[in-house]
Amino acid sequence: MFRKLMAPALAASLVLAACDNGPTDVTANDTDDYALVMFGEAGTALEGTMGNPPPAGGHFDGRTGWARLPDSLALTQTQIDAINALRAAFRTEHQAQLDSLRNIFAAARTARLAGATREEVRAILEQGRAIAQALRPDVVELREAIRAVLTEAQRAWIDSHRPRRFPRPIAPGRP
């Protein structure tokens, strides 16, 4: 009798757990998203500004920080165009800095894939600290400009579904 009651209860628990729509934890792949490592949550604004994803897959330009909106809150074409225009203008204005960071991020990913220690990868990323510190106010401004394009409902949904924590940024004035 006990087994007959527990089997459906266990199955229901598994189904409910699989349907969790709450915030997610940061995974190992998120910590490879070096824009998030450098800029924290503001790094999500850089999605797509550093060109195509690396050939080995994954991203390092803030793509893993955005929760994807459900269909009921999907971006309109006008919003997509406005966000793309903001990112394109940012890319044009900061191309040299973004290219330098992309090269540093690529070197860090290559080292990590070759078996470098966490400290060795961090040392590579530290080479971009000055660039990131100079770029940070503009990245934060870009993030806020993108958020201004979103509706209140879209912002609320994104805020409620963002990762529980982002990697601690190494860019802002830390030693």
The burial class, CB within 10 Å (0-12 / 13-18 / 19+), for 144 is: exposed
Mean pLDDT of 107-134: 91
pLDDT value for 16: 33
Whole-number pLDDT of residue 124: 93
From 58, 45, 78, 36, select the one nearest 163 (Cα to Cα). 36
Reference 111, options 169, 34, 25, 36; nearest CA is 34
Asked if residue 30 lies in contact with residue 167, where contact means CB atoms within 8 angstroms, the answer is: yes
Q: Report the pLDDT averaged over residues 89-95.
A: 95
- For the chain, the distance separating the N- and C-terminal CA atoms, rounded to the nearest angstrom, is 62
**Position 172 pLDDT exceeds 70:** no
Confidence of residue 36 (pLDDT cuts 50, 70, 90): confident
Judge whether 98 and 49 are in contact, CB under 8 Å.
yes
CA–CA separation, 93 and 120 (whole Å): 31
